[in-house]
Amino acid sequence: MADIASWMDEEAKAIGLPIAEEYRANVIVNLERSLAIVQPLLAVELDEELTPLPVYRP
């Protein structure tokens, strides 16, 4: 995850999202911010039996 620019380019290619040159720097800034903000979530350890919300009800 260290190379944010490569992350951006590869993932954008995979989902077919063109990112113009003039948007690149700010997308990278936002990815860096996301990476910082998500840390407390990534640090949480969850029990394996914990299922997600929402629960699908057919």
Q: Is 2 a residue that touches other proteins (CB under 8 A)?
A: no
Q: How far is CA 6 from CA 1, 23, 33, in A?
A: 9, 15, 16
Range 31-50, binding other proteins (CB under 8 A): 31, 33-34, 37-44, 46, 50
One-letter amino acid at 24 equals: R
Q: Is 57 a residue that touches other proteins (CB under 8 A)?
A: no
Number of helical H runs and strand E runs in the chain: 2, 0
Q: Which residues bind other proteins (CB under 8 A)?
A: 7-8, 11-12, 15-20, 23, 26-27, 29-31, 33-34, 37-44, 46, 50-54
